[in-house]
Structure 1
Amino acid sequence: MNHEVIGGIPVLWADAPGPLEAVLMFGCGVQDETLRTLGTTHMVEHLAMSTLPRLHHEHNASVDLLTTQFTCTGRPEQVVAFLAAVCEALTALPLERIEQEAGVLAAEDGRVADPATAELLSHRYGVQGLGLAAYRGPGADRIPVEAVQEAVDRFFHRGNAVLVLTGPPPADLRLPLPDGERPDRSAALPVLRTGPSWREEDVPGPGLALHGDLDDPALQLACKLLSQRLRDTVRHRHGLSYDVGGDAVLAGPGHGERTLCLDAREGQEQRVAELLWEEALRLARECPTEDELAEEIAELREVYQDPRSTTCELGEAAGALLFGGTYQDPQTRLAVLEKVTPDEVRQAFAAALETVLLVVPCGTEVDPKLPDGRPLPRRACGTEGELPPGAKVFRPPLVDRLRSSDARRARLAVDGRGLWAREPDGTVHHVPFTEVVGVEMRGPGRVVFGRDTCVIPVVPELWAGIGPAVDAVDAAVPGQLRYPASAFRPAD
C-alpha cells in the first residue's frame, strides 16, 4: 500500500486487477446528525451528484453511519474528471435543488443498517449518534437548508477526506476542496446502556449486540464462530433461517458494537431466538475446538489473500486515518489471530456477554438467562409508577372513554419538567423536556421524541382538550427542534 498527499488530501493506493477504481471518502455520516437534521448528509451527497453530466462509466455515491463516499471506475482520465467535478460541486452546492432532491430521497427511502442492527444501536445509544440508524427523521422535505450548508462547511473539506485508488494516481489528478479541520474523534460516542437486556421490536428476526474492543482478536473469532454455528444449526440443520449476518460498528477509538442478526421463517421467530441464545450461552460456557478455530482462520486467510480484497483493505486504512485508528496489514492481523487460544475465545465472549443487548420480533416469547443463571433483564419503554403530583392531566376524548375501558384508564400529564403518558396497564412513559430531540407538528397536535427512544403523541385523536399541553411543549422545546409533519408521509 502506497501513501501520498495530493492537494492536501491523503491518497492511498495499491495495484489491483481491473480498471482504475477510486473512492473519495469523507469522515462523516448519519452518526454526525441529529433527529432534527437526519438525512442532511445524504442530501449533500445527492446535491453534489446532481451537478454531474451524463457519464458512461461506473460511478456512485453513498452515505452510511460513519462515512460519505463518492466512487467511480474507469479510465484514468474519467476518474480524474469525476473526482474534480465532485470536489467542485461540494464547494458550491446547488441549494436551489433541495426541493427536487428531497423527492428523490423520499423515493429512495434508504437505510444505513438492517432493521435488527438499527434497533440494537438505538437501544444502546438512544436517539443520537449510531442510534439514529433506526429512525427516518422528519422527512427529506423537512431538512433545513442551513443544516445542509453547515454539514458541508464542517465535514466536506480536505481535512476530513481520504482518496483511495486501485492504481497509481494519474499525473493530472486534482482535488479542489477547501481547507478545514478534521473533526475530533478521540472520544467515544455516549452510551445510554451498557447492557445486558432484551426487548421486543418490529424486526424480521432476532439479533444481539456486544459492546467492546473491536480490535480484540479473540472476540472477533468468537463472533465469527458463533455466526458459523448458527448457520450450521438454524439454517442447515433446522431450515428456519436464510441469512445469518454480522457487523462491526465503530463507536470510538477501537471500541464499538459487534452485532449478529438472523431472519426467521414465518412462525418460527421464537425458535430462532431460542437457538441464537442457546448457542451464545454454549460459547460463553464451553471452549471451542481447535478444529473450529482452524476453520475460521482458514477462511480469513483466503479472504485476506484474495486480490479482490485490495479495495476493502484500502478502505480499512482510509477509515483508520479518518477516525484515529491504527491500520494493520492482513499478514499482521492473521498472525495475531493464529495465536488466539480456544479458552481466550470463550473468555472474551463470556465477558462481552455482560454487555449484550438482545432484540426479538414482537410477540416472541423468550426467557433468556445469563451464563450464571440470572434472568436477562427485559427492557420496555416505560416503567411502573404514578403521574407526578401537581401536573395537568388529560384524558382521551369522551366518546373513546364511553366505548373503551382502556381509554378510561389512560392519562397524559404535563408540567414544566416534561410529559408523562400512562397506558391502560399502568405503564408510564416519560420524556423530560431537557431530553427532547424532536417535535413533529401535526396540525393542532405534537409528537414528542425523547433521546431515550420514548415517543409521546400529544394529539387530539388521543387526548381531549390538549391545547394547554401543546402550549407547554412549544414553550419548553426550542423552535429549531420543532418541524411540520412531512408531506411525503401519511400520519400514522
Structure 2
Amino acid sequence: MTQQTDGPAATVAQDGTTTTGPATAPAFITATEVDRIPTLLAPTSGGGPVTAGLYFRVGAADETLATAGLTHLVEHLALHRHGVSDLHYNGSTAATHTHFVVSGTAEEVVAYLNGVCASLRDLPVERLATEREILRTEQAGRSRGPNHQLPLWRYGARGYGLASYPEYGTLHLTADAVRDWARTWFTRDNAVLWMTGDTVPEGLDLTLPAGQRKPLPAPTSALPVTPAYLTGGSGGVVLDGIVRRTSAASLFAEVLGRALFTDLRQKGGYSYAADCEYHPRDTAHATITAYADALPQKQDAVVGGFIDVLARMCAGTIAQAELDSARVKRLKLYETPDLGAAALPSYALNVLTEHANLTPDEHRAELLAVTVEDLRDVARELHASALIQVPGRPVDWAGFTEAPQWSAPASDPAGTVHRSRQSDAVSLTVGPEAVTLVTPGGQISVRYDACAAMRVFPDGARHLIGFDAFVAEVEPTLYAKLTPDRMAVIDAAVPAAAVVPMPERDPDEIPQAAARRGGLKDRARGMLRSLRPGRG
C-alpha cells in the first residue's frame, strides 16, 4: 500500500498512444458495466487465477499541501477490513489515480472488490488515529528516488509538485474530512474496473455513490525559464523534462537510457546506474527522467558525459541501429501471451483519464513509423523543458539557467522588521500581506494568499510554504521582538485550510541564536549557513 507511479504493467498501451479523445476499449478487450462502473474484460488461456483492478481518478496531485496524504489515507482505510489473508491484494496511490488490485479465485476477487466498495461507502474512521501512525511509519521507511526533489522545483508546492513533500494531511485530518473526500472522489462515475476473464463473476456488488468523472489536475510551474539547473542532491545527476506523449518519445527514452549506460558505465566507468524512464503525466504529455550515479571523485566526469550524451542526441547524432534496437525491444511486448489481459491495467487507466486506446496493430504501426529524425525532435523537446540537478558546480556553460534560489525581487516589504539575533544583515518582516526574510544574498517572501501550508509548532514557530515552494521559517528564538501579537498577525492572515498543526519538537530541534562573534560579514555567513534551503 505504498505510493507508486505508472509501472511496467502500463507499458503496452501507455507508451504508444498518441491520439486523444473519447477512450474506448479496442476490439480484443470487451467493454461492459458493473453497477454503472465502466468495466473491461480480457480472457486468459490455460486457466489460472482471476486478476482484477479498480481504478479511481484521484491521487496525490489532486490534494493540497496541507491535506497531502488524504487519498492515501482513504486507500488504507478501505483495505483495513481485509486484515491478514493469503489473498494476493494491494492498493496504491499515485499522482493522478488510486488502484485496488487483487488476484485469486473468482469468489475471492468478488469478496475483495465488494469489501473495498463497502468500506468506501462506510469508512472505518475509528481506525483513523492508528492508520495515521502507520502512514507516518511507512513514509519514514520509504526509499526516495533520485528525482524526489525535482517535482517541487518544477511545479511548486501544489499539484504534481506534492510528490516531493511529506504527507502533512495525515497529521491532522478529521474523520469528517476523510469521509467527505471519499464521497467526492471515490464514486462510481470516477472509477473504472478491469478484470481477466470472459465474463463478470456472479455476486459483484460495487455499489458506490454517484459523482462525476474528475479531470486531470492542470500542471503548475515554478520555473520561469527552462532548461534550468539546481545543485545538490545525493551526488549523482538527474534530469527530467516534459514531452508530448508519443511513440517516438517512449522510444527515445529507451535510446537515451542505453546511451547513458554505454557512455557512463561501459566506456567511462564513471557510473554504476545510468538509465532513463518514460511515464505518462496526463492525456497529452509525459515525463522523461534520466539519471546517473557517481562517486565524489567522478562527479565532474559524470556531469560532462551526461550532458554530452543529451547534446549528441539534440544534434541528431543518433545511429539507426540505436533506434532499431529500442524498437525491437518494444515490439516484443506485443508477443506477450494473453496480450489483452496483460494490457488491461493500462487500457483501463486510459479510459479513466479519457486518453484514446489503440489496438496492438495500431501501436506496432506507430512504432515502425518512428524515424531517427523523430528522436532528434524529442531530444530537443526534452532539452527545452529540462530541469537537471547536478552535484557541485553550475552547468550554465551548457545552456542551463539556474532555477530561482530566491523570491522575485520586490520593493522594501511593509510591516514590522525583526532583526536576526545572529546577524545584523538578516531580518524578518511580518507584514499585512506577507512574511519576508531578507538576507545579503536575496529575499524569500511568502504571501498569505499564496501560502500552500503553514506548519504550526507548539513552541510558537510558524513555517510558511508558498505555492512557489519557497519557505519562510518564523522562529521566535531567532528574531528580536517576535511577540505573540506579531505572530497573531500571521495566524489571522493565513487561510485556515492551509494550517498544519505539527507535533511538539524535541528541545534540541528548536533553533537557538548562536553567540555573536567575528565581524559583520562573518556573522552573516554563519547565519546563512544555518538557514535551511529556500525551497522545500
Above 0.5 in TM-score?
yes
Shift, 1:383, TM fit = 5.2
In the other structure, the counterpart of 2:533 is none
Q: Could you tell me which of 266, 276, 283 is aligned with 1:253?
A: 283
Q: Residue 67 of structure 2 aligns to a residue in which SS?
A: coil
Does residue 47 of structure 1 match 2:63?
A: no
Shift, 1:118, TM fit = 3.2
Q: Could you tell me which of 393, 416, 421 is aligned with 2:437?
A: 421
How many residue pairs end up in the alignment? 476
Q: Could you tell me which of 274, 295, 310 is aligned with 1:244?
A: 274
Moved more, 119-128 or 166-175: 166-175
Equivalent position amino acid for 1:481 in 2: A
**1:291-302 correspondence runs (5 A):** 291-302=321-332
In the other structure, the counterpart of 2:6 is none
Does residue 197 of structure 1 match 2:228?
A: yes
Q: Could you tell me which of 34, 40, 45 is aligned with 1:6?
A: 34
Q: Could you tell me which of 199, 206, 228 is aligned with 2:237?
A: 206
Does residue 376 of structure 1 match 2:400?
A: yes
CA offsets 1:99-158 (integer angstroms, 9 cap, x no match): 011111111117999544332222221111110000004262323333311220111121
In the other structure, the counterpart of 2:417 is 393
**1:423-462 correspondence runs (5 A):** 423=439, 425-442=440-457, 443-462=459-478
**1:207-246 correspondence runs (5 A):** 207-214=238-245, 216-246=246-276
CA offsets 1:190-214 (integer angstroms, 9 cap, x no match): 3343622111243453221222311
**1:133-212 correspondence runs (5 A):** 133-138=163-168, 140-185=170-215, 188-193=218-223, 195-203=226-234, 205-212=236-243
- In the alignment, the residues of structure 2 paired with residue 67 and residue 21 of structure 1 have an alpha-carbon distance, to the nearest angstrom, of 19
- Shift of the 389–156 alpha-carbon distance from structure 1 to 2, 3 Å rule, reads closer
- CA RMSD between the two structures: 2.5
The runs of 5 or more residues in structure 2 that have no matched partner are 1-28, 511-536
- Shift of the 177–360 alpha-carbon distance from structure 1 to 2, 3 Å rule, reads farther
- Shift of the 302–38 alpha-carbon distance from structure 1 to 2, 3 Å rule, reads same
Q: Is the 8 A contact 1:139 1:488 kept in 2?
A: no
Higher RCO, 1 vs 2 (CA within 8 Å, ≥6 residues apart): 2
Q: Is the 8 A contact 1:47 1:95 kept in 2?
A: yes
Q: Residue 133 of structure 1 aligns to a residue in which SS?
A: helix
Q: Residue 346 of structure 2 aligns to a residue in which SS?
A: helix
Shift, 1:217, TM fit = 2.5
Q: Is the 8 A contact 1:213 1:256 kept in 2?
A: yes
- In the alignment, the residues of structure 2 paired with residue 286 and residue 274 of structure 1 have an alpha-carbon distance, to the nearest angstrom, of 19
Q: Is the 8 A contact 2:288 2:382 kept in 1?
A: no
Equivalent position amino acid for 2:55 in 1: M
In the other structure, the counterpart of 1:410 is 426
In the other structure, the counterpart of 1:404 is none
Shift, 1:50, TM fit = 0.9
Does residue 100 of structure 1 match 2:130?
A: yes
Equivalent position amino acid for 2:359 in 1: D
- Shift of the 269–311 alpha-carbon distance from structure 1 to 2, 3 Å rule, reads farther
Equivalent position amino acid for 1:43 in 2: L
- In the alignment, the residues of structure 2 paired with residue 140 and residue 26 of structure 1 have an alpha-carbon distance, to the nearest angstrom, of 20
Q: Could you tell me which of 12, 15, 37 is aligned with 2:67?
A: 37
Q: Is the 8 A contact 2:280 2:286 kept in 1?
A: yes
- Shift of the 237–308 alpha-carbon distance from structure 1 to 2, 3 Å rule, reads farther
- In the alignment, the residues of structure 2 paired with residue 337 and residue 113 of structure 1 have an alpha-carbon distance, to the nearest angstrom, of 34
- In the alignment, the residues of structure 1 paired with residue 335 and residue 509 of structure 2 have an alpha-carbon distance, to the nearest angstrom, of 52
In the other structure, the counterpart of 2:352 is 322
- In the alignment, the residues of structure 2 paired with residue 251 and residue 60 of structure 1 have an alpha-carbon distance, to the nearest angstrom, of 23
Q: Could you tell me which of 114, 120, 127 is aligned with 1:90?
A: 120
Q: Residue 420 of structure 2 aligns to a residue in which SS?
A: coil
The runs of 5 or more residues in structure 1 that have no matched partner are 402-406
- Shift of the 68–491 alpha-carbon distance from structure 1 to 2, 3 Å rule, reads farther
CA offsets 1:435-470 (integer angstroms, 9 cap, x no match): 101111112110101110101100123222222542
- Shift of the 189–380 alpha-carbon distance from structure 1 to 2, 3 Å rule, reads closer
- Shift of the 2–117 alpha-carbon distance from structure 1 to 2, 3 Å rule, reads farther
- In the alignment, the residues of structure 2 paired with residue 224 and residue 387 of structure 1 have an alpha-carbon distance, to the nearest angstrom, of 48
In the other structure, the counterpart of 1:24 is 54
How many percent of aligned residue pairs carry the same amino acid? 25
Q: Could you tell me which of 104, 123, 132 is aligned with 2:162?
A: 132
Q: Residue 202 of structure 2 aligns to a residue in which SS?
A: coil
Q: TM-score, normalised by structure 1?
A: 0.89
